[in-house]
C-alpha cells in the first residue's frame, strides 16, 4: 500500500500513475479535493492554458482561452470519478514514522501502514506572516475569496504579485477604497501580461493608491501605519488583505526525516530522477519540492513527477 498525502492535481496524478501500474494506494488530504484551488479567489483565472493543467491524459476543455477556478474544480472532480481514485478528504495527517517498507501514517481519523509514502501537500498550508503588531486582528486576512465583503471599505492590499494585483483590482471595482503596500519598487514583472496594464493605469490615474518601497509598521483597529521612503504615514483602514504568499508544512517533512538544503528557500533534498527524498521510501511531488520557492513548480511542470515516482516504486517493489 502506498499513501499519498495531498489530493491536489499532483497528488491525483500520482494516484493515476500508480493505478496504471496496479499498485494499491490511498490519497489523504486535510481539506477538500484540490483544496488549494478551492481556496483561490472565486473569480481567479489561471495563467496556464487548459491543456497544461491536464492529468491522466484526460482532456480539459475550457470555454475560455485561460481556464477559470470553477472549470478546474469541475475538471479534477471528473478525473477523480473517472479513475475511481480512493480519496480520504477532511483527514489531517499528524505524523509519518517508520522506514522504507514499513511506514506508519497517523491521521486525526485513522492509522495506516504503508510501504512507501508520497508527499504532494502543496504550499497553501501556512501563510507568510508579516510579524507586525496587529497582524492577528480579525480585520487582517491572509486568504481572499471574493470582493463583495469589502465594498465601500478602506482596504489595504499587501503584495504586488498576481494575487495582490487581482485582489486590488477586484476590490476596487466592488467599490473599495484601495491602497497597495509594496516592499519592492514596482509591480512584479511576473504579473499576468493581460492584467499588468490594468493595475498600472489604475495606479497612474490615482484610482488605486500605491506605496512602493514601503513596509507595514503596525496595524490598529481603524488605521495602518506605513514606513515609506518619506517616513512613517498612518492611513484610515477597515481591512488588511495580506497577499504575502504561503509555505508548505515543513514540520511534517522534517519530523518524517526529510533533510533540507542550507539555502534561503529551505529546499528539501530529493533525487530528481526518482523524486525520492533522502529518507528512503518517502517521495516528494509538486510544489513542495521547491521549499519556500513556491513559484518554481506549477501543475504544468510538476505533473510529470507522478510518472517518475510510479516508475521507481514499481521497479523497487518488483
Q: Please tell me the distance from the alpha carbon of residue 165 to that of residue 200, in angstroms, as a whole number.
A: 10
Indicate whether 254 and 282 sit together in one domain.
Answer: yes
* pLDDT reported for residue 247: 76
Indicate whether 232 and 256 sit together in one domain.
Answer: no
Decide: 170 and 45 in contact? Cβ < 8 Å: no
Decide: 239 and 153 in contact? Cβ < 8 Å: yes
Decide: 17 and 309 in contact? Cβ < 8 Å: yes
The last residue of one of the domains, among 211, 242, 273, is: 242
% of the chain at pLDDT higher than 70: 100
CATH number (domain holding residue 237): 3.50.50.60
Decide: 112 and 3 in contact? Cβ < 8 Å: yes
pLDDT tier for residue 312 given thresholds of 50, 70 and 90: very high
Indicate whether 27 and 118 sit together in one domain.
Answer: yes
Query: In what order do the strands lie in the sheet containing 215-219?
Result: 215-219, 223-228, 231-236
Indicate whether 74 and 148 sit together in one domain.
Answer: no
Q: Encode pLDDT of 245-301 as tens digits.
A: 887 778 899 999 999 998 887 899 999 999 999 999 999 999 999 888 877 888 999
* pLDDT reported for residue 109: 97
Indicate whether 19 and 111 sit together in one domain.
Answer: yes
Indicate whether 149 and 200 sit together in one domain.
Answer: yes
Indicate whether 10 and 23 sit together in one domain.
Answer: yes
* pLDDT reported for residue 227: 97
Give the three cell numbers for residue 120.
Answer: 504532494
* pLDDT reported for residue 1: 96
Q: Encode pLDDT of 58-72 as tens digits.
A: 999 998 889 999 999
The last residue of one of the domains, among 242, 269, 299, is: 242
Task: Give the mean pLDDT of the chain.
Answer: 94
Stated as kind and residue range, the H or E segment containing 76 is helix 69-83
Decide: 168 and 192 in contact? Cβ < 8 Å: no
* pLDDT reported for residue 153: 98
The last residue of one of the domains, among 178, 208, 242, is: 242
Q: What is the mean pLDDT of residues 176-182?
A: 98
Give the range among 103-107, 113-117, 125-129 with minimum mean pLDDT: 125-129
> What is the total count of domains within the chain?
2
* pLDDT reported for residue 275: 97
* pLDDT reported for residue 43: 86
Range of the domain at 153: 129-242
Q: What is the mean pLDDT of residues 145-167?
A: 94
* pLDDT reported for residue 292: 80
Decide: 267 and 15 in contact? Cβ < 8 Å: no
Indicate whether 102 and 215 sit together in one domain.
Answer: no
Indicate whether 117 and 251 sit together in one domain.
Answer: yes
Q: Encode pLDDT of 180-229 as tens digits.
A: 999 999 999 889 888 999 999 999 999 999 999 999 999 999 999 999 99
pLDDT of 48 strictly over 80: yes
Indicate whether 228 and 260 sit together in one domain.
Answer: no
* pLDDT reported for residue 131: 92
pTM score, two decimals?
0.84
Closest among 43, 198, 23, 205 to 116, alpha carbons compared: 23
Which of 237-269 are b and which e, b meaning 16 or more Cβ less than 10 Å from the residue's Cβ?
bbbbbbbbbbbbbbebbeebebeeeeeeebbbe
Q: Which residues contact 51 (CB under 8 A, 6 or more apart)?
A: 59, 60
pLDDT of 32 strictly over 90: yes
Indicate whether 162 and 291 sit together in one domain.
Answer: no
Q: Please tell me the distance from the alpha carbon of residue 157 to that of residue 134, in angstroms, as a whole number.
A: 15
* pLDDT reported for residue 125: 65
Give the three cell numbers for residue 26.
Answer: 490511498
Decide: 147 and 34 in contact? Cβ < 8 Å: no
Indicate whether 67 and 178 sit together in one domain.
Answer: no
Decide: 233 and 252 in contact? Cβ < 8 Å: no
Amino acid at each position: 500500500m502506498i499513501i499519498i498525502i495531498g489530493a491536489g492535481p499532483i497528488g491525483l496524478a500520482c494516484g493515476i500513475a500508480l493505478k496504471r501500474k496496479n499498485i494499491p494506494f490511498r490519497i489523504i488530504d486535510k481539506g477538500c479535493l484540490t483544496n488549494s484551488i478551492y481556496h483561490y479567489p472565486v473569480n481567479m483565472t489561471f495563467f496556464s492554458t487548459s491543456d497544461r493543467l491536464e492529468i491522466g491524459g484526460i482532456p480539459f476543455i475550457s470555454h475560455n482561452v485561460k481556464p477559470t477556478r470553477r472549470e478546474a474544480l469541475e475538471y479534477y472532480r471528473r478525473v477523480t470519478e473517472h479513475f475511481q481514485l480512493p480519496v480520504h478528504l477532511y483527514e489531517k495527517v499528524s505524523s509519518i514514522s517508520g522506514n522504507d517498507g514499513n511506514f506508519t501514517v497517523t491521521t486525526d481519523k485513522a492509522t495506516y501502514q504503508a510501504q512507501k509514502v508520497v508527499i504532494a501537500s502543496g504550499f497553501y498550508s501556512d501563510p507568510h506572516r508579516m510579524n507586525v503588531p496587529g497582524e492577528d486582528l480579525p480585520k487582517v486576512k491572509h486568504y481572499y475569496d471574493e470582493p463583495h465583503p469589502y465594498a465601500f471599505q478602506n482596504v489595504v492590499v499587501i503584495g504586488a504579485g498576481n494575487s495582490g494585483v487581482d485582489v486590488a483590482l477586484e476590490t476596487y471595482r466592488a467599490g473599495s477604497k484601495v491602497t497597495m503596500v509594496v516592499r519592492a519598487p514596482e509591480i512584479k514583472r511576473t504579473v499576468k501580461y493581460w492584467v499588468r496594464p490594468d493595475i498600472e493605469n489604475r495606479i497612474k490615474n490615482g484610482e488605486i493608491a500605491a506605496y512602493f518601497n514601503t513596509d507595514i509598521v503596525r496595524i490598529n483597529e481603524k488605521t495602518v501605519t506605513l514606513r515609506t521612503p518619506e517616513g512613517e504615514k498612518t492611513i484610515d483602514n477597515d481591512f488588511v488583505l495580506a497577499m504575502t504568499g504561503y509555505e508548505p508544512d515543513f514540520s511534517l517533512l522534517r519530523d518524517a526525516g526529510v533533510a533540507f538544503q542550507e539555502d534561503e528557500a529551505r529546499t528539501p533534498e530529493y533525487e530528481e530522477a526518482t523524486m525520492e527524498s533522502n529518507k528512503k521510501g518517502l517521495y516528494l511531488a509538486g510544489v513542495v519540492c521547491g521549499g519556500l520557492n513556491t513559484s518554481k513548480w506549477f501543475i504544468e511542470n510538476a505533473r510529470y513527477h507522478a510518472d517518475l515516482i510510479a516508475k521507481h516504486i514499481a521497479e523497487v517493489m518488483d
